[in-house]
Chain A
Amino acid sequence: MADADDWTHRSIGQIAAGVQHGEVSAEAVAAAFLRRYEAIEPQVHAFLHLQSARVVEQARAIDAKRVRNEALGPLAGVPIAVKDSLCTIDAPTSCGSRILARDGAVWQPPYDATVVEKLRSADAVLMGKTNLDEFAMGSSTESSASGPTLNPWDLGRVPGGSSGGSAVAVACRMSAGALGSDTGGSIRQPAAFTHTVGLKPTYGRVSRYGLVAYASSLDQVGSFGSDVRGAARILEVIGGHDPRDATSATAPMEKLEAACGRDVRSIRIGVPEEYFGEGLDAAVEQRVRRAIEALRGAGCTVHAVHLPHTRYAIATYYILATAEASSNLARFDGVRFGLRVHPQRGDLEAMYTSTRSTGFGAEVKRRIMLGTYVLSAGYYDAYYLKAQKVRTLLRRDFDEAFRQVDVIAAPASPIPPWKLGEKLDDPLSMYLADIYTLPASLAGLPAISVPCEPTQDGLPVGLQLIAPAFQEARLCAVASAWEAMNPARGLVAPHAHVAAG
C-alpha cells in the first residue's frame, strides 16, 4: 500500500471511499494530516485551536463504527477544519477576538452549530478551529487578535479573509476541506487568494444556527475544498432546512457533487462589463478571460451583460453590514461570556464600555462606529434606508441579467493577494478590494471561486461564477468543467511542501 502521507493529497471522495471500504483507517488519515499540520502550521498560522488527541479520538470512533459494520457517512474520516466563528461543543470559540477570552481561557460554547453537528453525523473528523478576521470583519485575516494567517504562495502576503485560516488549511492540505462564512466575499476571496475552491451558497441554503452573527441579512456558511467536488460534497452535507434558523430555506438540497462533470454545452455565460473595468489587475483579467474562453471552447456560449449598479455595491454593503454588526455585537458586554473589565468605581454602563473598549480590536470598533452612525437619529434615511433601496436595484441587475444568461463569470478579486500590512492604514482601500464579491452577497445569490492559472509572480487568481438563487448545482457543473481544463489544476503552494522522509 502507498505511504499513508499520500492520503493528504487525495480528494475528499477518495478519502471517504478509502475509509468506508477499509482501504485506510480514519486514524491513519488523521495521523497523516496531523503530520502535515506539525510541519507547516508554524509557518502559516492557519489554526487558532487544534488538539491532536481529540482529532485521533474522533478518527478512532469512526474506525470503531466500521468494525461494527455500521454504515459510514459521506465524509467518513475526512479531516475538516472549521472557522472559529462557528460554535463547537468540544473546542473553544474565539471569533479571533479578545472579547471572548477571560483569564487566558477562550469561551467554550455549550452547543454545536448545526453545520458542525451535520459534519459529525457525516463522520467527518473535525481538525480544529481556523483563524479569521476578528468577528469575520476584514478581507485579509490581519485583524485577528491572534495575528495574521500567512499565504502559503508567498509568506509576505495575506491569504485573503475573513476565512483566511480555512482557505490556508485546505491550500496546505492540513485539512481536506473546511467551513467558512461569507458575508461579503469571505469565502470566495480567500479561496481565490490561495488556489482553493470556495463555495458560498444561496442565502438561506445553510443554517446559521451556531454561527456567531456579523451581518444577519448577509451571513452564509459555505465550504472550501481543493477541488469543486470536495467543496460540493461538504455543502451537500451542511445544507438543508433547519428549524433552529428562522431564515433557513425549505427548498430541498440538490445533488451538487453529481452535477460536477455534467455537460456544459449551450450553457450561457454572462460577462459583466462592470467587472472588467478600471482597477482590475491586468494579470488577473488575462487569467480570468482565459478561463472563460476555455469554457467557450467546451461549448458554453459567452455573452456581454450589464450590472449597472455595481459601482454602488461597496457603499451599500458597508452601510448595511456595519449597521447590522453594530446591533449584533451589542451582546458582547461583559455579562454572560468572555471578557469583563470592571473599573474600580464604576456602574454597569462603565463595565459595558470598559469591556468593549478593551475587548474589541480597531477594525471591529470602526465598523461598530460606522454602523451606529448610519443608524443614528438624523442619518437613518440618508444612509441606511437609502442603502436598502440601492440593494433592491442591485438585485434587479441580477434578475435582468439572468433573463439572458445562466451563469455570470467574473474575477473574484480585482487584484492578487497584497502584501501584509499594505492596506491596514487605509481601511477604505481594503473595502474597495471587495467590489466583485459584494453584489452577489447583497442579492443573496450562490457564487463560487475556482482557481485560474496563477500570475507570472506565482500569485493565485480565482474565477468567480454567480448563479440564480438555489442553482448551486449549475455553479458546480460550470466550475468543474473549467477545473478539468485548467493547466494549473492540482498545483500546490510552494510553502505547503513537506520534506520527504
Chain B
Amino acid sequence: MPDAIITPEQVRHVARLARLSLDDDEVARMTKELGAILEYMARLDEADTSDVEPTAQVGTEALALRHDEPRVGLDREVVLGQGPSTSHDGFAVPAFVDE
C-alpha cells in the first residue's frame, strides 16, 4: 500500500476530480481527517489476499434480465418540471465557455 498520509496538494487534486471546491480551512481539516482514516485502512495490508478473487457484489450470479420491451416512461413535462432551468424540451445548462 502506498504511503497512507495524504498531502494538502493531493486533497486539492481529489477535490477537483470530485467537483468540490474546498477553502483552505476545509483542505486542512480534510487532510487531517482523511489521513487518520487512510492510516487506519492500512491494516488491510495484513490480510493475505493472494489467490483471493474480489467480490464486487453478492448474490447476483443468477439474476435474470428483464425482457427488452418498449413501455411508456415518465411524463416529460413532470420530469422537466423538477429542473432548475429548461429549454427546448430539455434541461438547460450554462455554456462551456463564458458567455
A369 touches B82 (CB 8 A): no
A224 at the interface (CB under 8 A from B): no
B20 touches A335 (CB 8 A): no
Interface-facing stretch out of A23-31, A116-124, A385-393, A415-423: A385-393
Interface residues of A in 314-369 (CB under 8 A from B): 314-316, 318-319, 326, 330, 333-340, 342, 345-354, 356-357, 360, 365-366, 368-369
Interface centre among A216, A309, A337 (most CB of B within 10 A): A337
B72 at the interface (CB under 8 A from A): no
A340 touches B1 (CB 8 A): no
Tell me, rounded to whole Å, the shortest Cβ–Cβ distance linking B43 to chain A.
Answer: 6
Set of chain B residues within 8 Å of A311, measured between Cβ atoms: 43
A474 at the interface (CB under 8 A from B): no
A17 at the interface (CB under 8 A from B): no
Given A335-B91, A390-B49, A393-B49, are A443 and B82 also a contact pair (CB < 8 Å)?
no
Set of chain B residues within 8 Å of A368, measured between Cβ atoms: 18, 20
Residue of B nearest to A392 (CB): B55
Interface centre among B19, B45, B93 (most CB of A within 10 A): B19
Set of chain A residues within 8 Å of B20, measured between Cβ atoms: 353, 356-357, 360, 365, 368-369
Given A108-B82, A373-B14, are A395 and B55 also a contact pair (CB < 8 Å)?
yes
Interface residues of A in 276-291 (CB under 8 A from B): none
B44 touches A390 (CB 8 A): yes
| In-complex Cβ contact of B37 among A108, A348, A428, A444 (8 A) | A428
B60 touches A347 (CB 8 A): no
A451 to B23, CA, bound (A): 44
A294 at the interface (CB under 8 A from B): no
Tell me, rounded to whole Å, the shortest Cβ–Cβ distance linking A349 to chain B.
Answer: 7
A314 to B38, CA, bound (A): 11
Tell me, rounded to whole Å, the shortest Cβ–Cβ distance linking A368 to chain B.
Answer: 5
B47 touches A250 (CB 8 A): no
Residue of A nearest to B48 (CB): A393
A383 to B2, CA, bound (A): 9
A337 touches B47 (CB 8 A): no
Residue of A nearest to B57 (CB): A217
Set of chain B residues within 8 Å of A365, measured between Cβ atoms: 20, 22, 26, 30
A315 touches B41 (CB 8 A): yes
A314 to B45, CA, bound (A): 14
A204 to B59, CA, bound (A): 7
Residue of B nearest to A340 (CB): B84
A389 touches B14 (CB 8 A): no
Set of chain B residues within 8 Å of A395, measured between Cβ atoms: 55, 58
0/1 string, A89-122, CB within 8 A of B gives 1: 0000000000000100001101100000000000
Set of chain A residues within 8 Å of B24, measured between Cβ atoms: none
| In-complex Cβ contact of A110 among B19, B82, B97 (8 A) | B82
B59 touches A202 (CB 8 A): yes
Size of the A side of the interface (Cβ < 8 Å), in residues, is: 78
Tell me, rounded to whole Å, the shortest Cβ–Cβ distance linking A34 to chain B.
Answer: 29
Size of the B side of the interface (Cβ < 8 Å), in residues, is: 56
B21 at the interface (CB under 8 A from A): yes
A370 at the interface (CB under 8 A from B): yes
A340 touches B85 (CB 8 A): yes
| In-complex Cβ contact of A353 among B21, B33, B63, B82 (8 A) | B21
B75 at the interface (CB under 8 A from A): yes
Tell me, rounded to whole Å, the shortest Cβ–Cβ distance linking A457 to chain B.
Answer: 30
Residue of A nearest to B97 (CB): A347
A249 at the interface (CB under 8 A from B): yes
Tell me, rounded to whole Å, the shortest Cβ–Cβ distance linking B45 to chain A.
Answer: 8
Set of chain A residues within 8 Å of B1, measured between Cβ atoms: 382-383, 386
B36 touches A110 (CB 8 A): no
B52 touches A393 (CB 8 A): yes
A469 at the interface (CB under 8 A from B): yes
Set of chain A residues within 8 Å of B70, measured between Cβ atoms: none
Tell me, rounded to whole Å, the shortest Cβ–Cβ distance linking A180 to chain B.
Answer: 20
Interface centre among B54, B79, B91 (most CB of A within 10 A): B54
B52 touches A389 (CB 8 A): yes
Set of chain A residues within 8 Å of B59, measured between Cβ atoms: 202-204, 249, 444, 469
A366 touches B44 (CB 8 A): no
Residue of A nearest to B17 (CB): A372
A213 to B6, CA, bound (A): 28
A346 touches B55 (CB 8 A): no
Interface centre among A346, A369, A444 (most CB of B within 10 A): A369
A369 touches B11 (CB 8 A): yes
A351 touches B34 (CB 8 A): no
Tell me, rounded to whole Å, the shortest Cβ–Cβ distance linking B48 to chain A.
Answer: 9
A349 to B43, CA, bound (A): 37
A385 to B26, CA, bound (A): 29
Given A312-B44, A347-B98, A365-B20, are A217 and B33 also a contact pair (CB < 8 Å)?
no
User: Can you list the 8 inter-chain pairs with the closest CB atoms, starting with the nearest?
Assistant: A444-B58, A388-B54, A340-B84, A389-B49, A391-B55, A315-B41, A372-B18, A217-B57
What are 23 contact pairs spanning A and B, CB under 8 A? A204-B58, A244-B66, A311-B43, A316-B44, A318-B37, A326-B18, A337-B84, A346-B94, A353-B20, A365-B26, A368-B20, A369-B15, A369-B30, A370-B34, A370-B38, A372-B17, A373-B14, A383-B41, A383-B44, A390-B49, A395-B58, A428-B37, A443-B58
15 more contacts with CB within 8 A, not counting A248-B63, A334-B84, are A204-B58, A204-B63, A250-B62, A319-B41, A338-B82, A347-B95, A348-B96, A353-B19, A365-B22, A370-B38, A372-B17, A388-B55, A389-B47, A389-B54, A392-B49
